[in-house]
């Protein structure tokens, strides 16, 4: 069963608007207030002091493109103290306990939390790890038994036992080639394992790369799981990374067959013929898009054979070109264009990010986030219970999983605990996943009957079903700026909701006050000449004409839109006739219609029922306009009320 603290709801427009428009947040200064004197504060709200640094901080959040000048801060001070007072008032009204408010905050947290794990967690860790590994190059041998991603316990155990036996033989002097031929899976008749060219970070799958870089030289690993299967890895050598070299070449497919052309190309270069001209005239790889024969940066990244990279690394920077050289690719005249160097740490990091993006290492999705969460201290696996569970599966070979008995207290042993000391701070309960609950899940969700078919990877799948409701509190604990952002959103939304009730929402308006305003300003609320009309529109002229005919027969729009699919039909009145199609109305007599108009480039017909004479609005008709006209007075009255209730005192001249 999936744990959920709340039902998921979409973020409302008001919350989105708030997230964009309101970035004010405050932190109660109950502790620091003890150390503040009146001279330190630039304002007081409800007896709580506000410092200049606090005002400056929140001004910067609201106006990130502006410099916080003294006059700007002094003007901003009143806005800020009123915000603080509104927040206190909202909390007193219990608006922070409103279910809709809590739903919106939760939805915002669930929507924004993943980006913190991606941008500030996963991506930063990928870059840091990549930079650390990129300082060295490895020469590696490996044995590989290929396995599917969903390999069973039996398959994994069998492959692991085979590799462990091979590891012992390897340690005792068996040759790598013999073990590779005997143990590694075959692909097109050749061993899937082997000796790899020199490589650095970014050249292999991440699990293999991490395992290899974690091994001391000459050490043989335990079985390592990657997307390809199980490996044994041995690091033969480790050396500092050779900076990649940018090279161009004049390429010949066969040194012997092309010997005459090679000599001519070398002579042309000796005679001063421009490099690009020689490339275009002689190179078998000549390309108008790359007239200089550029190969880009060449390094030990397994794109080229080590022997060719060795040639590039041995080029003399003082020479304009060198060659001809033979390689397994053909023959080359090589020119060294540049050596990769970084002027600053930031430049190196930017290049690493660009490389990782090119390698698609940053294509992070929900699965990557869940995997990252699995490897945090929030998820605590009981390895002792897990070992006992795997042994229980092995002992059940030949039985049906549903018939296997789980004795107490083992059935209630905790396999996994989701917990953190700060969960209590956010009213989040810890969670314990037991052996029996996991077995039930395996039987019901995986429809497994044979205990030998249970994959070790299923436990992580099981845990992931419970992770998402914990994502916001985990993110608050892991990333302080997310916690700050969420508090900012909570309090901003709270004040937004308070303003909605106190100022903006007419459903909370004092009708008596609005009526008094309406009565005192009667002349302001009247209609000018208006035109009562019907407007019909349809993409097809023929359908529009049928709809018009139907309307003229019945003079009613009842069921008209249902009768004609995609028909736009509206009956209304307006005093604004400056633009089409309404500009046609003053030229019509009551009872007349015209086709000479369009609505959103679609054929339309407009009909004039009558011309309505100017008149005063009724209170009901004028209500919204009168309510909106009262807003400045309402805001002024509300500010005065808050200033008095919370004894707001401002000392703007203290802002320097």
**Each residue's pLDDT tens digit, 601-656:** 999 999 999 999 999 999 999 999 999 999 999 999 999 999 999 999 999 999 98
**pLDDT reading at 222 higher than 60:** yes
* Beta carbons within 8 Å of 123's beta carbon, 6+ residues apart: 362, 364
**pLDDT reading at 9 higher than 60:** no
- Average of pLDDT values for 247-256? 95
Greatest CA separation for the chain: 107
In a domain, 97, yes or no: no
In a domain, 316, yes or no: yes
Structural domain count, the chain: 4
Q: For the segment 258-312, what is each residue's pLDDT rounded down to a tens digit?
A: 999 999 999 999 999 999 999 999 999 887 777 899 999 999 987 899 999 999 9
- How far, in Å, CA of 60 to CA of 68, rounded? 7
Of the three residues 288, 322, 339, the one that is the final residue of a domain is 339
- How far, in Å, CA of 210 to CA of 361, rounded? 14
In a domain, 190, yes or no: yes
Tokens read off for 293: 């024969």
Q: For the segment 177-194, what is each residue's pLDDT rounded down to a tens digit?
A: 999 999 999 999 999 999
In this structure, are 456 and 397 located in the same domain? Answer: yes
Residue 258's domain spans which residues? 245-297+306-339
In a domain, 499, yes or no: no
**pLDDT reading at 142 higher than 70:** yes
In this structure, are 331 and 256 located in the same domain? Answer: yes
pLDDT of residue 11: 34
Give, in order, the Cα–Cα distances in Å from 28 to each of 33, 46, 105, 188, 601.
9, 12, 20, 69, 57
In this structure, are 141 and 234 located in the same domain? Answer: yes
In this structure, are 234 and 145 located in the same domain? Answer: yes
Nearest to 104 by CA among 504, 503, 494: 494
Please give the span between the terminal C-alpha atoms of the chain, in angstroms, as a whole number: 59
- Average of pLDDT values for 165-180? 96
In this structure, are 235 and 261 located in the same domain? Answer: no
State phi, psi for 652 to the nearest 5 degrees.
Answer: -60, -30
What proportion of the chain, given as a percentage, has pLDDT over 90? 80
Cβ–Cβ < 8 Å for 286, 253: no
Give, in order, the Cα–Cα distances in Å from 236 to each of 76, 216, 220, 233.
66, 9, 10, 10
In this structure, are 141 and 231 located in the same domain? Answer: yes
Cβ–Cβ < 8 Å for 455, 389: no
CATH label of the domain that carries residue 329 = 3.10.50.40
pLDDT of residue 37: 54
In this structure, are 227 and 286 located in the same domain? Answer: no
In a domain, 188, yes or no: yes
In this structure, are 279 and 201 located in the same domain? Answer: no
Which string of b and e fits 199-221 if b means at least 16 CB within 10 Å? bbbbbbebebbebbbebeeeebb
In this structure, are 236 and 249 located in the same domain? Answer: no
In a domain, 575, yes or no: yes
pLDDT of residue 16: 35
DSSP at 324: E
Q: For the segment 101-138, what is each residue's pLDDT rounded down to a tens digit?
A: 999 999 999 999 999 999 988 899 889 999 999 999 99
In a domain, 24, yes or no: no
In this structure, are 383 and 451 located in the same domain? Answer: yes
In this structure, are 224 and 249 located in the same domain? Answer: no
* Tokens 């633009």, residue located: 579
In this structure, are 401 and 384 located in the same domain? Answer: yes
pLDDT of residue 2: 29
In a domain, 628, yes or no: no
């Amino acid at each position: 069963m999936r744990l959920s603290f709340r039902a998921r709801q979409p973020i409302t427009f008001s919350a989105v608007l708030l997230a964009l428009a309101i970035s004010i947040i405050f932190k109660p200064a109950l502790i620091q207030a003890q150390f503040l004197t009146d001279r330190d504060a630039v304002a007081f709200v409800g007896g709580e002091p506000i410092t200049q640094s606090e005002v400056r901080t929140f001004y910067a959040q609201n106006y990130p493109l502006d410099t916080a000048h003294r006059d700007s801060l002094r003007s901003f001070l009143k806005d800020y103290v009123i915000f603080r007072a509104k927040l206190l008032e909202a909390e007193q009204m219990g608006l922070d306990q409103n279910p809709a408010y809590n739903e919106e905050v939760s939805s915002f947290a669930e929507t924004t939390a993943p980006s913190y794990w991606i941008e500030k967690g996963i991506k930063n860790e990928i870059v840091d790890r990549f930079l650390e590994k990129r300082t060295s190059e490895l020469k590696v041998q490996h044995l590989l038994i290929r396995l599917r991603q969903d390999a069973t316990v039996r398959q994994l155990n069998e492959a692991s036992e085979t590799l462990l036996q091979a590891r012992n033989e390897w340690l005792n002097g068996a040759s790598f080639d013999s073990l590779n031929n005997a143990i590694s899976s075959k692909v097109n008749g050749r061993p899937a394992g082997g000796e790899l060219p020199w490589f650095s970070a970014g050249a292999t799958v991440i699990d293999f790369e991490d395992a290899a870089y974690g091994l001391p030289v000459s050490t043989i690993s335990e079985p390592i799981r990657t997307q390809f299967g199980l490996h044994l890895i041995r690091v033969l050598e480790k050396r500092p990374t050779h900076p990649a070299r940018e090279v161009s070449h004049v390429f010949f497919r066969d040194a012997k067959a092309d010997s005459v052309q090679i000599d001519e190309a070398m002579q042309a270069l000796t005679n001063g013929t421009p490099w690009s001209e020689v490339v275009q005239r002689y190179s078998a790889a000549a390309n108008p898009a790359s007239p200089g024969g550029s190969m880009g940066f060449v390094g030990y990244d397994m794109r080229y054979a080590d022997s060719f990279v060795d040639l590039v690394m041995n080029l003399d920077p003082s020479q304009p070109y060198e060659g001809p050289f033979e390689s397994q690719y053909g023959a080359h005249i090589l020119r060294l264009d540049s050596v990769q160097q970084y002027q600053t740490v930031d430049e190196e990091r930017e290049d690493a990010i660009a490389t990782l993006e090119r390698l698609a290492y940053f294509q992070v999705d929900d699965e990557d986030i869940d995997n990252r969460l699995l490897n945090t201290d929030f998820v605590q696996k009981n390895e002792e219970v897990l070992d006992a569970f795997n042994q229980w599966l092995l002992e059940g070979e030949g039985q049906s999983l549903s018939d296997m008995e789980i004795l107490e207290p083992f059935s209630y042993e905790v396999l996994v605990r989701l917990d953190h000391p700060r969960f209590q701070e956010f009213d989040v309960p810890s969670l314990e996943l037991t052996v029996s609950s996991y077995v039930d899940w395996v039987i019901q969700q995986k429809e497994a009957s044979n205990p030998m078919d249970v994959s070790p990877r299923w436990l992580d799948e099981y845990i992931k079903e419970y992770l998402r409701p914990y994502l916001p509190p985990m993110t608050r604990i892991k990333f302080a700026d997310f916690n700050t952002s969420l508090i900012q959103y909570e309090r901003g939304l709270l004040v937004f909701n308070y303003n909605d009730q106190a100022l903006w929402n007419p459903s909370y308006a004092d009708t008596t006050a609005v009526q008094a305003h309406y009565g005192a300003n009667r002349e302001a609320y009247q209609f000018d000449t208006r035109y009562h009309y019907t407007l019909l529109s349809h993409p097809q002229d023929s359908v529009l004409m049928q709809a018009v005919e139907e309307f003229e027969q019945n003079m009613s729009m009842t069921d008209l839109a249902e009768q004609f699919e995609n028909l736009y039909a509206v009956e209304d009145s307006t005093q604004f006739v400056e633009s089409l199609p309404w500009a046609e109305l003053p030229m019509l007599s009551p009872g007349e219609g015209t086709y000479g108009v369009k609505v959103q480039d679609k054929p339309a017909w407009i009909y004039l029922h009558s011309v309505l004479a100017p008149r005063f609005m009724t209170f009901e008709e004028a209500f919204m306009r009168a309510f909106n006209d009262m807003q400045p007075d309402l805001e002024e009255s509300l500010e005065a009320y808050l200033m008095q209730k919370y004894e707001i005192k401002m000392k703007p001249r203290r802002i320097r």
